[in-house]
Structure 1
Amino acid sequence: MSSRRLSIIFATFLLVSFLTGIAGALQAPTLSLFLTNEVKVRPLWVGLFYTVNALGGIVISFLLANYSDKKGDRRKLLFFCTLMAIGNSLIFAYSRDYLVLISVGVLLAAIGNASMPQLFALAREYADRSAHEVVMFSSMMRATLSLAWVLGPPISFTLALNYGFTLMYLCAAGVFIFSALMVWFFLPSVGRIEQPVDKVVVHVSAWKNRDVRLLFFASLLMWTCNIMYIIDMPLYITSDLGLPEGLAGLLMGAAAGLEIPVMLIAGYLVKRTGKRRLMLCAAVFGILFYLGLVLFQFKAALMILQLFNAIFIGIIAGIGMLYFQDLMPGRAGSATTLFTNSISTGAILAGVIQGTIVQNFGHYQVYWMALALAVGALVLMTRVKNV
């Protein structure tokens, strides 16, 4: 295959990662405001929505991952997931019925969200086949995803607050349509060697592996902290701190922007330091971030703390997935999905914990809980072997 053809394919992977990230970054940051202000439900029901959404995502993504690892065409599956994401955006654009959103909306979102692990699994397989540097290419894809989250949250809040949620979700649908076209016309289908017996053995032994379990639960706690923050922060800074709603978008965008160099630097350092040491570093910075949220409540401090947040998320987002893949050789789809399901399971816990705490104690106590969970993640990470 010519170098020009390779360059076009790798550029397409980066572009699809960026587009999928933009569409997600248009929807996710304002979801709690959407449910509170448009659908008009209480905090407990907001948390429940995140929980059900995450639970549906776990079930669907595991089913799709097993199918794609065994016999599915990952590119066609990725295209199908993107179509479902378009449908989900349209549901949210025109429905304000909580039952419709938490049933049909969640089902479409679960299938649509599986596009990201499928995209990264396809990229890993293609990079392996083309002898491309896997770690740096994965870091570049993660960096484009972070770039999307630099632009997405401020745009999301601008559209939602000034022009309404309907237009915001329609814009997300338009981005998903463009992404689906890029997947269909430019991304390759990567054939996989069928090894049924070996696959069963690897699949069974992977979860029995102590290091896989420890990494999963450490990743779970880190993402629970992060998602609690994403759910609660837009409401906390407006209701408790009296700061403008638009600041939430700026905080998310600033963190995502800082994540880009963090991911690239982590990708460069991983061969020297190892994945375990970088993940331990991430957990420490996560502790510092949530400690800062507990201690400081003014705008300048919140902005400065985004550097700690960026190091925390930048490393676990860029290195965590590769850590799972290295601990589960031969099952890129399942390993990537296990990583993303640690995020989804984190969302389940985050939704329940955030909704319960806010309903009974208020927003501030959410960050004490996040701090405690970050400490727990650090303890678990110290017990995972280096690879």
Structure 2
Amino acid sequence: MHWLATMGRRLNGVYAAFMLVAFMVGVAGALQMPTLSLFLSREVGVQPFWVGLFYTVNAIAGIVVSLGLAKRSDSQGDRRKLILFCCLMAVGNALLFAFNRHYLTLLICGVMLASLANALMPQLFALAREYADSSAREVVMFSSVMRAQLSLAWVIGPPLAFMLALNYGFTTMFSIAAGIFFLSLVLIAFALPSVSRVETSADVAVTEVSGWGDKNVRMLFVASTLMWTCNTMYIIDMPLWISSDLGLPDNLAGILMGTAAGLEIPAMILAGYYVKRFGKRPMMITAVAAGVLFYFGLILFHSHEALLFLQLFNAVFIGIIAGIGMLWFQDLMPGRAGSATTLFTNSISTGVIIAGVIQGAVSQSFGHHAVYWVMAAVAVVTLGLTCRVKDV
């Protein structure tokens, strides 16, 4: 295809390094995230409410820290050095979970380390956008292909995570994640570039810097938050729902996540290719509509085969919003790649806050099946909000 040939011509060593770092960081994250609820439930021994609370506290800390880092990174300093620091914190966080089983220690120290580590990915994508802009490259396609590396990582990560955790223990799994983060740190130090940025004027209003003064940015933030609320509730609850309510094998959760991630890759790349033809708004609406079908499908169909088939809708949903959603924020906030990308990732963190509270409370009070009715209802509301954001 023409776009593959074009991408091949434009791919250079620095672009390849960006993709490899995104993939490696994605694998390390995909080893930890899918099994976290099982880890807290079985290894640490806490109730569902405390599992949800952990996600919520972690997300709140992540928002506060990432906003401060984003403001600084867009105006001064070397973004690459900040990325290195965040990667080092990710190594420390993985090692903490490998060798500690005390809930309060994990909640306090783990949240502190994770809040710094979570800024790694938005800063990496912001640096990639700035490098693409400075080298006059195709931003949308490169961003989509780079984001596809995360999906590829999630093809490998979740099944590998459940295999390692169930067969060799959580200590081994988290230790391997720490090792991958360390290799990523070395690659970042020697392969990624520093990009000069224009400083933001001191007399620019805070609302203008953050983009919050634009009603479309606010609406997109709310819609994106609700999208990720649904997705995070699914990630938290599904491994527990699979084993406790449906009586299916534990490792099926990893297979479902890996299948969805594998299907996300073509969805992302095709979205990046066709976005100029159809526009961001129509594609995002299509994605959220697929999400609505996915969550209602989870309510109605519970067989092994049906759950696998439904991942097609999940892949379209996540594949498009993860790539096009971030670019939509960046286009609505020109010249503020770090703040726009962080606002997008903070919508994810805010979604995690809401998801942690709802999943923990609903599953403990009404059972896991009730969580999926909440997801479906939130998805319908999200579809209506997405339709109100302007195209760019």
TM-score for both structures, normalised by structure 1: 0.98
Q: Secondary structure at the match of 2:335?
A: coil
Q: 1:26-45: per-residue Cα shift (whole Å, max 9, x none)? A: 00000000000000000000
Within the alignment, does 1:104 sit opposite 2:104 as a pair?
no
Within the alignment, does 1:215 sit opposite 2:188 as a pair?
no
What is the letter of the counterpart of residue 388 of structure 2?
R
What is the letter of the counterpart of residue 315 of structure 1?
I
- Tell me which of 31, 52, 60 is aligned to 1:26: 31
Contact kept in structure 2, 1:199 and 1:331, CA below 8 Å: no
| Partner residue, 1:61 | 66
What is the letter of the counterpart of residue 238 of structure 2?
M
Within the alignment, does 1:375 sit opposite 2:380 as a pair?
yes
| Partner residue, 1:334 | 339
- Tell me which of 89, 92, 98 is aligned to 1:87: 92
- Tell me which of 293, 297, 320 is aligned to 1:315: 320
Q: 1:323-370: per-residue Cα shift (whole Å, max 9, x none)? A: 000000111000000000000000000000000001100000100000
What is the deviation of 1:279?
0.5
Q: 1:124-180: per-residue Cα shift (whole Å, max 9, x none)? A: 000000011000000001111100000000000000000000000000000000000
Within the alignment, does 1:288 sit opposite 2:293 as a pair?
yes
Contact kept in structure 2, 1:202 and 1:328, CA below 8 Å: no
The alpha-carbon distance between structure 1 residues 362 and 11, as it changes in their structure 2 partners (threshold 3 A), is same
CA distance in 2 between partners of 1:378 and 1:126 (Å)? 33
| Partner residue, 2:5 | none
Contact kept in structure 1, 2:10 and 2:137, CA below 8 Å: no
What is the deviation of 1:195?
3.9
Q: Which runs of 5+ in 1 are unaligned?
A: none
What is the deviation of 1:271?
0.2
What is the letter of the counterpart of residue 132 of structure 1?
R
Residue correspondence of structure 1 range 47-58 to structure 2 within 5 A: 47-58=52-63
Contact kept in structure 1, 2:210 and 2:340, CA below 8 Å: no
CA distance in 2 between partners of 1:121 and 1:147 (Å)? 20
| Partner residue, 2:3 | none
The alpha-carbon distance between structure 1 residues 286 and 198, as it changes in their structure 2 partners (threshold 3 A), is farther
- Tell me which of 346, 353, 360 is aligned to 1:355: 360
The alpha-carbon distance between structure 1 residues 380 and 154, as it changes in their structure 2 partners (threshold 3 A), is same
What is the deviation of 1:199?
5.1
Contact kept in structure 1, 2:75 and 2:198, CA below 8 Å: no
What is the letter of the counterpart of residue 15 of structure 1?
L
The alpha-carbon distance between structure 1 residues 304 and 207, as it changes in their structure 2 partners (threshold 3 A), is same
What is the deviation of 1:5?
11
| Partner residue, 1:229 | 234
CA distance in 1 between partners of 2:150 and 2:204 (Å)? 30
Q: Secondary structure at the match of 1:203?
A: helix
What is the deviation of 1:203?
2.9
What is the letter of the counterpart of residue 243 of structure 2?
T
CA distance in 2 between partners of 1:197 and 1:63 (Å)? 16
What is the deviation of 1:72?
2.2
Contact kept in structure 1, 2:207 and 2:213, CA below 8 Å: no
What is the letter of the counterpart of residue 49 of structure 1?
F
Q: Secondary structure at the match of 1:249?
A: helix
Contact kept in structure 2, 1:199 and 1:330, CA below 8 Å: no
CA distance in 1 between partners of 2:208 and 2:192 (Å)? 27
Alpha-carbon RMSD across the aligned residues, in angstroms, is 1.4
What is the letter of the counterpart of residue 285 of structure 1?
A
Q: 1:254-291: per-residue Cα shift (whole Å, max 9, x none)? A: 00000000000000110011000011001100000000
CA distance in 1 between partners of 2:250 and 2:385 (Å)? 36
Within the alignment, does 1:37 sit opposite 2:48 as a pair?
no
What is the deviation of 1:386?
0.6
Residue correspondence of structure 1 range 127-276 to structure 2 within 5 A: 127-197=132-202, 200=205, 203-204=208-209, 206-276=211-281
Q: Which runs of 5+ in 2 are unaligned?
A: 1-7
| Partner residue, 2:310 | 305
Contact kept in structure 1, 2:157 and 2:258, CA below 8 Å: yes
What is the deviation of 1:297?
1.0
What is the letter of the counterpart of residue 29 of structure 2?
G
What is the letter of the counterpart of residue 360 of structure 2?
G
More deviation, 199-208/148-157: 199-208
CA distance in 1 between partners of 2:228 and 2:97 (Å)? 25
* Number of residue pairs matched by the alignment: 385
Contact kept in structure 2, 1:43 and 1:359, CA below 8 Å: yes
What is the letter of the counterpart of residue 71 of structure 1?
Q
CA distance in 1 between partners of 2:238 and 2:18 (Å)? 32
What is the deviation of 1:194?
2.3
What is the letter of the counterpart of residue 81 of structure 1?
C
Q: 1:190-231: per-residue Cα shift (whole Å, max 9, x none)? A: 011224147547735720111001100000001000000000
- Aligned-pair identity in percent equals 66
- Tell me which of 261, 278, 283 is aligned to 1:278: 283
CA distance in 1 between partners of 2:98 and 2:341 (Å)? 30
